[in-house]
Amino acid sequence: MTETVDKKITTGSYETYLNRAGEGNEEKVLFLHGSGPGATAWSNWQFALPALGEKYDCLAPDLIGYGQSQHPETPPQDASAWLETWMGQIESLLDEVGLEKVHVVGNSMGGALALHLMNRHPERVGKAVLMGTMGIPFPITDELDALWGFYDDPSPERMAEVIGWFVYDPDVVGGDLQAIADDRYGAATREEISHSFASMFPITRQGSARQGSVDALALEDAAIEKIEQETLLVHGRDDVIIPLQTSLDLLQKLQRPQLHVFGRCRHWIMIEYAAAFNELLADFLHGYKS
């Protein structure tokens, strides 16, 4: 396993906290994390970075408004404005570390960001892996609505319930989801993190589900259909947060897709099936030269 190092670097107007493993390896992989309360790059990719860092130069930033990256004093006020902040951060990160082209791996909301990166800067992306991805319109699930609404009524008990939705079988992650929930609750309730998150996914003016945030992160069909990168879609069959149908729809719209579905698996494929997921990524990325 390769050691992971971390540091802060300047990306545009913000400081970005970056986890990196395998620096110096020829092929570069950018990992983009999801949107849950208390999420960080390390919480998503703690098993992938040391494994993939054996062969690849793996970079995993905390998105602005998450983890140890900078939190705006006056944060953007909806998902569409945050999307522009994150895209600017990603573009500046690649420029700052001198990477002209990378593979990109995105989890959930990170998958949506990967799709937008391929749409805006196709020349900068080699292959893409989209896991339990957003970025395409779908009716918001009750679980995603509640996940984004965590701060409406935050509590340790609520966090434990939310974390329970991410896995199919708690025994796969050691049977102790409570420890994970406690850690995420501690991160989520840091003042700067809760301040940022509260503005990302507001309810509609009518007080209904956060469907508008799903739609704001989605690409139009015409843009998706122009994406030519080889793309591996990975989804848990039993995902209750982002439905499998999103990957099935992308399978029909992307130019060069593959689909791998894990049965008895929900949203945390990279944790529930860590070894198989890492092997799948390595096999898919193998042979590409930037």
User: DSSP string covering 74-104, please?
Assistant: S--SSHHHHHHHHHHHHHHHHHHTT-S-EEE
Q: Which of 43, 108, 213, 247 is catalytic?
A: 108
At how many degrees (to 10) do helices 79-96 and 109-120 cross? 60
CA angle at residue 83 from 79 to 86, to 5 degrees?
135
Sign, Cα dihedral of 108, 77, 12, 100: positive
CA angle at residue 242 from 19 to 276, to 5 degrees?
55
Q: Which of 71, 103, 235, 267 is catalytic?
A: 267
Catalytic site includes residue 169: no
Which of helix, strand or coil describes residue 159? helix
Q: Which of 103, 235, 239, 247 is catalytic?
A: 239
Tokens of 199: 């503005």
Q: Residue 91's CB: how many other CB atoms inside 10 A?
A: 16
Are the CB atoms for 24 and 40 separated by under 8 Å? Answer: no
Catalytic site includes residue 239: yes
Best CA proximity match to 88, nearest among 61, 127, 67, 106: 61
Catalytic site includes residue 108: yes
- Residues annotated as catalytic are 108, 239, 267
